[in-house]
Amino acid sequence: MLHCSKLMPQGRGLARVLVQRASTITLDWDVRQKSRFDTTDSNGRQLGIFLPRGTVVRGGDVLVAEDGSLIRVEAAPQAVLRITACTEHGSPFDLTRAAYHLGNRHVPIELQPDHLKIEPDHVLADMLRAMHMTVVQVSEAFEPESGAYGDHGGHSHGGHGHGHSHGDNTTTTEPHVHGPDGTHDHALVAAKRIAIPLRSAPAQPHVHGPDCKHEH
């Protein structure tokens, strides 16, 4: 058995030709959400996957085997419920409302601009239909959202993840300096002067003696 303990999200950093030449494994969501499992690739090799706990494998990710070979992951089609807003009586907001109620039930959800996907559940299907949503069962790849702090350090958009920084095009704010060269004026607030009475030190008693400088 060939062990794989390295995952390259979406094959980032690899030449496309290398990814295309890689062997493949086709896995459904039930397997891909596990960090340790056994499988067989398209070349018939037995693979033992040992990834850090909590790692989620996405379609398009690339595994690196101990011999340096690459294995591309494909998300297998599986039974899912496809949820859309009613085109005759609903509105796009209905999809947001449905996602909210599903989220309250902590079920895995794939979010798309015009539909949602969940694993088959007749109770949830009845609830959604009562909300005037259209619910149909289809066989498609399932890529549910990860938690806000999960996945590969990035986020998933409909089955592909990317870990970019959202600060690439952000202008860094320079510290603002208040001074004579400032570009805008601020109204000056007059400081209220507070008179603090000063207590004078008690006068030292005068001692008359030979060093006294005045006559008595």
State mean pLDDT over 91-97: 90
Superfamily of domain 78-145, CATH level 4 = UreE, C-terminal domain (3.30.70.790)
Is residue 92 very low, low, confident or very high in pLDDT (cuts 50, 70, 90)? confident
What is the arithmetic mean of pLDDT over 101-106?
95
The CATH superfamily assigned to 2-75 is: Urease metallochaperone UreE, N-terminal domain (2.60.260.20)
Mean pLDDT of 117-139: 97
Asked if residue 53 lies in contact with residue 7, where contact means CB atoms within 8 angstroms, the answer is no
- Cα 36 to Cα 51: distance, rounded to the nearest angstrom: 6
Asked whether residue 28 carries a pLDDT value surpassing 50, the answer given is yes
Given a cut of 80, whether residue 31 has pLDDT beyond it is yes
Helical residues (DSSP H) of the chain, grouped into ranges: 16-21, 29-32, 92-104, 122-130
Domain-wise residue ranges, the chain: 2-75, 78-145
Six-digit token string for 123: 């109770």
Average pLDDT over residues 173-194: 48
